[in-house]
């Protein structure tokens, strides 16, 4: 739901089009499932709440900041976005726009950002894939602000980053907000945001 790092043969939203006119039920289904695979199996009392309670916004800011520090996601800031449900028609349109924009984005990186491409760990073969509009292994074309939180399919909303551990850790931070009712009750999400086109840390 958050981004698509590789081309897909089938539109993932089309099969669900008859279920509801928005993504609200999809989020409710996600929240109803309980702990997600990427969540920590044991969470502190501050992070795990009864079914109809959730951390306040400032408390969640503190939790997200601690996770950013724990995961060494230097350079990320926290962007607060309200839940803005999109119709399945709009989501299909945005998905198609994203697929087109992603190809343009990757090609631009290959020709204009080779130094940063190499800094994130890409070699000549990987850059050759970028020139074709394809995403190499273990990197992700990340949609920073999801569509259902006001994100667009514009180039400025895309970022190339390592799948492991960077992209996985971003989703652990999002899972934290799914699993303790913060999203369900506060109707907003605190999203890690990186201002550049390619995320890397040369100090590692």
What are 7-55's pLDDT values in tens digits?
Answer: 434 444 444 434 444 444 444 444 444 333 333 433 444 455 556 788 9
Which SS3 state, helix, strand or coil, does residue 77 take? strand
Instruction: Work out the pLDDT band at 167, boundaries 50, 70, 90.
Output: very high
Q: Looking at the domain assignment, is residue 13 inside a domain?
A: no
Backbone angles phi, psi at 101, to 5 degrees: -65, -35
On whether residue 23 sits in a domain, the answer given is no
- In a domain, residue 8? The reply is no
Alpha carbon distance 122, 59 (integer Å)? 38
Q: Which region holds residue 200: left if phi is over 0, alpha if psi is between -120 and 50, else beta?
A: beta
Q: How many domains does the chain have?
A: 1
**How far is Cα 94 from Cα 92, in angstroms, rounded to an integer?**
6
Question: What is the tens place of the pLDDT at every residue in 111-121?
Answer: 999 999 999 99
Residue 3 lies in a domain: no
Establish if 92 belongs to a structural domain.
yes
Domain containing 74 equals 55-194
Residue at 116 is within a domain? yes
126 in a structural domain: yes
Which strand (E) or helix (H) includes residue 107?
A: helix 88-112
pTM over 0.85: no
Query: Which residues make beta-bridge pairs with 82?
Result: 188
């Amino acid at each position: 739901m958050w981004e698509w790092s590789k081309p897909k043969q089938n539109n993932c939203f089309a099969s669900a089009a008859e279920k509801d006119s928005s993504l609200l039920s999809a989020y409710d289904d996600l929240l109803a499932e309980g702990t997600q695979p990427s969540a920590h199996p044991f969470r502190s009392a501050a992070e795990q709440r009864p079914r109809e309670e959730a951390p306040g916004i400032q408390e969640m800011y503190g939790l997200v900041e601690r996770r950013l520090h724990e995961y060494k996601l230097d350079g990320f800031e926290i962007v607060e976005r309200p839940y803005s449900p999109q119709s399945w028609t709009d989501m299909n349109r945005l998905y198609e726009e994203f697929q087109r924009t992603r190809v343009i984005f990757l090609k631009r990186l290959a020709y204009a950002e080779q130094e940063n491409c190499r800094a994130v760990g890409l070699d000549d073969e990987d850059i050759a894939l970028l020139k074709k509009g394809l995403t190499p292994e273990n990197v992700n074309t990340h949609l920073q602000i999801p569509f259902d939180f006001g994100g667009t399919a514009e180039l400025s909303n895309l970022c190339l980053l390592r799948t492991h551990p960077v992209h996985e850790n971003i989703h652990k931070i999002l899972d934290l907000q799914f699993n303790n009712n913060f999203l369900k009750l506060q109707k907003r999400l605190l999203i890690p945001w990186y201002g550049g086109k390619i995320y890397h840390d040369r100090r590692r």
